[in-house]
Structure 1
Amino acid sequence: MAGSALDAFSPATRGWFTGAFTAPTPAQEGAWRAIGEGSDVLVVAPTGSGKTLAAFLAALDELAGEPPPAEAKKRCRVLYVSPLKALAVDVERNLRSPLTGIRQESVRLGRPEPEIRVGTRSGDTPAAERRTLATRPPDILITTPESLFLMLTSATREALRGVETVILDEVHAVAGTKRGAHLALSLERLDELLDRPARRIGLSATVRPVDEVARFLSPRRKVEIVQPPSGKEFDLSVVVPVEDLGELGGSPAQEGEAGERPSIWPHVEERITDLVQAHRSTIVFANSRRLAERLCNRLNEIAYERATGEALPEDHSPAELMAESGAARGAPALLARAHHGSVSKEQRALVEEDLKAGRLPAVVATSSLELGIDMGAVDLVVQVESPPSVASGLQRVGRAGHQVGAVSTGVVFPKYRGDLVQAAVVTERMREGPSNRCGCPPTRWTCSPSS
């Protein structure tokens, strides 16, 4: 592969990559060349373009080619910051393949076998593991903005003194927000802790103006922007499962109003069940945890009734009252499972593994599965209600067809006529192409060691 940016890597890293992939994507080629020059880098590309590996492979190659520092507390040299715990878990899982591949390739070539440890620090990390991270930090630490702040404001910050590279994933999701301002301050605190500032590599969906995101990533240093032409294709449709939305109620039923107007929910639920059963793996996005739980429950009820020909016991909530407040007994988990922040860490991990492997037909989720998570088996995304924004809609639909060059297919179900108008506008904007607008604050962050 003459002239490729891959030529700069070690034989073991190059051998693993060429055995696993046909060729680097344009985002990967550009990122590796820019990273090789030593500058801060912002990689802007749509979902499914290999951005995560673009950032990590250069770091893995460096870690594999160098012995760990003699001082144990300076062993952590790569810090990865994710805005979502689920994304952090997914990245840790996805690193296993290149780590194993590089290790095996090194043995085959007669080179020393690298020992690269990966650790995670988030709100789900047990206390015992947190204490271990403080005394025996891994080579690569995966964390969230909030956990990074907690580490930097405690004795655990000593475990970050060896950091050389910081990878910020899904930068567009935090830039221009209060959470992003908080993260920017943490990054400045980290630089004050180090002998020299860490190199920053940002990964972002297509966003504008890109210069603002680059300034957020590294306000005091020049940032090399890698933004190859976007070739991502989306197949989007807005589906209204009834002839006239005006005759149906789409808002949650209020006490005393049940039965006054027919509900759209039975029609939506039946159509979603049809779509789920016609595809391999589906993610159904809802805009609230309550709706996600109730919709998941109802999809399982419908699947049970279709499979057995028998209705569930009468103590199950009817479809017309799906959005009404109150507890509902769940049907057997035949078709779908729920995923959101209130689900336990262990259950979320099981759901993600089953969905990624194609063992689970559907997951009903909130924004917990929205950002960057690689669900290779998913071939359809269903959005109930209009997406919160164009950016959110692109991220959610991008979970389907997450492979390089694949088409992402999404179906939007509006609840009522006003929601139909919003869904149509958002979907049309999504078809026009990714163009998330970011409003980053103009402040240049500085801090003193005592702050």
Structure 2
Amino acid sequence: MTKTILAKKHTVNQIKKIMHPLVKEWFFSRFEKFSLTQQYGVLNIWNKKNILISAPTGSSKTLTAFLSILNRLVILAEKDELEDRIYAVYTSPLKALSNDIHKNLIEPLQEINALAEKKGIKLQDIRVGLRTGDTTSAERAKMVRKPPHIFVTTPESLAIVLTTKKFVENLKNIEFCIVDEIHAMDNKRGTYLSLTLERLNEINKKFPVKIGLSATVEPIEEVAEYLVGNARNREVMYIRVPLNKKIDVDVLTPVNNLIEGKDLSKNLYDLLSKLIKENKTTLIFTNTRSATERVVSYLKDKFPTEYGDDNIAAHHSSLSKQHRFDIEERLRKGKLKVVVCSTSLELGIDIGYIDLVIMIGSPKSSSRALQRLGRAGHKLHETARGKFIVLDRDDLVECSVIQKEMIEKKINKIRFPSNCLDVLSQQIFGMAIYKIWKIDEIFSLIRKSYCFKDLTKNDDKRLMDVSKKARKQMIKEYKEGTRDRFEITKKANETIRERSIERFKKGYTR
């Protein structure tokens, strides 16, 4: 039902015509010309067209998405027509990425304001707000009283604010919605976001323009449909920006013989230290948080004169907000020689110049490996250098195949999970908190989600029955005093989860 259209490239003059003089002057003071990505994206976004932009790391996707939005807000700010409401929502799957975008929005706005003051032009204040799991209750309350014009958040935090009636009032006239790193949503988190976007559509008076940003991804038309959902009269443009980024990737082993080799652990850290010394800044990816801490600890212990708190750090989502910020800032300024992380720096956060990316063990897919490799040589025309370090035969085979796919530019296809009833039950609870729904009304909204377009009324009714029965039983037990509120919530979730798993085994979900 959703129509996909290949986006067309626009000329430099066409883009310049729509730009406010202040935005134009700011842009060309920082950049020599429009990138190819911007020629495909900026004018289409300005014309309120849904669009998915797929391009390699460092190809200015984020600036492409925000340029038209900043242009729109500056025009309104000069006319004194900027209202106290949210005009654009930006969502990204990582807190680190949200924080980075927040920082990179504030600085351009400050520079544009400085230009305006210099020319004697009065602009209203354009506000940017950040809401993640790290945001304090005081900051959240402040956003309700005085909403930001650009709202930066994560998929989970966006779903939460859609249940708060006071904040929802600020979301009813959104013009733009940016979904960044969309290729990383090929899991139940992506299924959850798909429903959240439909809930956002439902509360808005007009359909918010959807802007999807992705690394190289396949199948691109299906990803574009995921972005805008499944409904009549919906259209979405897509473009695979024709850019080629050079890569240099090798597969290394710490020992010559993985089967009979001795001192594997010792040789691993010797190899890591050797690679780190050969480069100015190195980023190491492990696949778990515990491995991240272990690598940092071992390097400090084994090479105490070379690695200390001043030049090596671990980065993962379990660390405090301030500690993560500090590491990201030090890395960006080149003060750290090596950072070890799990997946927290995997996506498009700007972490400055990285000479080398090391991946310990298999990342499990070529698209994920390319995303990690993209942290090195973050600028478009630089060669991205990376090394796989394998510790067993399985990893050796996997990483060798992934290396071949990366060199041949064969990207594995992503797939969004569909009809996940455990995800649906969570969303239905959130929707019920916001308002009372009719069954047909809620079913219609759910079916507009790309991930639930094949859901049947029978599936939905059975899930509703389970939820209703669980809720009634829990309320009864609460009134009788046999359970406290925490136990009731826990039991209700367990009941729905168990029934969802049972239905999955019977083939109700795919």
Normalised-by-shorter TM-score class: 0.7 to 0.9
Is contact 2:191–2:418 with CA below 8 Å preserved after alignment? no
Look up the equivalent residue of 1:192 and give its one-letter code. Answer: E
Match of 2:227 in 1: 217
Cα distance in 2, alignment partners of residues 159 and 167 from structure 1: 17
1:163 Cα deviation from its structure 2 partner = 1.6
Match of 1:368 in 2: 344
Segment drifting more, 106-115 vs 182-191? 106-115
Is contact 2:82–2:124 with CA below 8 Å preserved after alignment? no
1:391 Cα deviation from its structure 2 partner = 1.5
User: Taking every aligned residue pair, what percent have the same amino acid on both sides?
Assistant: 37
Change over 3 Å in CA distance of 1:378–1:430 after alignment to 2: same
1:141 Cα deviation from its structure 2 partner = 0.8
| 1:305-320 equivalence runs, <5 A | 305=305, 307=306
Partner SS, residue 384 of structure 2: strand
1:106 Cα deviation from its structure 2 partner = 2.4
Partner SS, residue 339 of structure 2: strand
1:157 aligns with 2:168: yes
Aligned partner (choices 114, 132, 137) of residue 142 of structure 2: 132
Aligned partner (choices 317, 330, 355) of residue 331 of structure 2: 355
Match of 1:59 in 2: 69
1:332 Cα deviation from its structure 2 partner = 4.0
Look up the equivalent residue of 2:53 and give its one-letter code. Answer: V
- Structure 2 unaligned blocks of 5 or more: 1-10, 443-510
**1:355-376: CA deviations, max 9, x gaps?**
1111011110001110111112
Partner SS, residue 166 of structure 1: strand
Cα distance in 2, alignment partners of residues 114 and 437 from structure 1: 45
Cα distance in 1, alignment partners of residues 33 and 381 from structure 2: 13
Please tell me the root mean square deviation across aligned C-alpha atoms, in Å. 2.2
Is contact 1:4–1:29 with CA below 8 Å preserved after alignment? no
Segment drifting more, 412-421 vs 357-366? 412-421
1:348 Cα deviation from its structure 2 partner = 0.6
Is contact 1:412–1:423 with CA below 8 Å preserved after alignment? yes
Match of 1:49 in 2: 59
Cα distance in 2, alignment partners of residues 6 and 214 from structure 1: 27
1:173 aligns with 2:184: yes
Match of 1:321 in 2: none
Match of 2:115 in 1: 105
Match of 1:188 in 2: 198
1:301 Cα deviation from its structure 2 partner = 2.6
1:349 Cα deviation from its structure 2 partner = 0.6
1:432 aligns with 2:408: yes
Cα distance in 1, alignment partners of residues 24 and 325 from structure 2: 31
1:418 Cα deviation from its structure 2 partner = 2.1
**1:159-190: CA deviations, max 9, x gaps?**
2223211000011111x422112111111111
1:418 aligns with 2:394: yes
1:101 Cα deviation from its structure 2 partner = 2.3
Is contact 2:311–2:335 with CA below 8 Å preserved after alignment? no
Report the count of equivalent residues: 410
Is contact 2:216–2:367 with CA below 8 Å preserved after alignment? no
Match of 2:151 in 1: 141
Is contact 2:366–2:406 with CA below 8 Å preserved after alignment? yes
Cα distance in 1, alignment partners of residues 25 and 302 from structure 2: 49
Is contact 1:133–1:159 with CA below 8 Å preserved after alignment? no
1:380 aligns with 2:356: yes
Aligned partner (choices 244, 254, 265) of residue 241 of structure 1: 254
1:70 Cα deviation from its structure 2 partner = 7.1
Aligned partner (choices 352, 356, 365) of residue 389 of structure 1: 365
Is contact 1:47–1:402 with CA below 8 Å preserved after alignment? yes
1:71 Cα deviation from its structure 2 partner = 5.7
Match of 2:290 in 1: 290
Is contact 2:132–2:153 with CA below 8 Å preserved after alignment? yes
Look up the equivalent residue of 1:218 and give its one-letter code. Answer: V
Cα distance in 2, alignment partners of residues 244 and 2 from structure 1: 57
Cα distance in 1, alignment partners of residues 66 and 12 from structure 2: 22
Q: Please, what TM-score do these two structures have when normalized by structure 1? A: 0.86
**1:384-403: CA deviations, max 9, x gaps?**
11212211111111011111
Change over 3 Å in CA distance of 1:274–1:228 after alignment to 2: same
**1:95-153: CA deviations, max 9, x gaps?**
23321222222233432234211111110101111111122111111001100110001
Is contact 1:381–1:400 with CA below 8 Å preserved after alignment? yes
Is contact 1:300–1:334 with CA below 8 Å preserved after alignment? no
Is contact 2:106–2:128 with CA below 8 Å preserved after alignment? no
Cα distance in 2, alignment partners of residues 290 and 332 from structure 1: 19
Cα distance in 2, alignment partners of residues 399 and 360 from structure 1: 15
Partner SS, residue 364 of structure 1: strand
Is contact 1:282–1:379 with CA below 8 Å preserved after alignment? yes
Cα distance in 2, alignment partners of residues 4 and 375 from structure 1: 33
Is contact 2:254–2:391 with CA below 8 Å preserved after alignment? no
1:274 aligns with 2:284: no
Is contact 1:356–1:378 with CA below 8 Å preserved after alignment? no
Higher-helix-fraction structure: 2
Segment drifting more, 362-371 vs 36-45? 36-45
Match of 2:382 in 1: 406
Is contact 2:364–2:398 with CA below 8 Å preserved after alignment? no
Is contact 1:12–1:109 with CA below 8 Å preserved after alignment? no
Q: Please, what TM-score do these two structures have when normalized by structure 2? A: 0.76
Cα distance in 1, alignment partners of residues 353 and 51 from structure 2: 30
Cα distance in 2, alignment partners of residues 285 and 441 from structure 1: 26
1:233 Cα deviation from its structure 2 partner = 1.4
1:8 Cα deviation from its structure 2 partner = 2.1
Cα distance in 2, alignment partners of residues 228 and 2 from structure 1: 16
Is contact 1:40–1:222 with CA below 8 Å preserved after alignment? yes
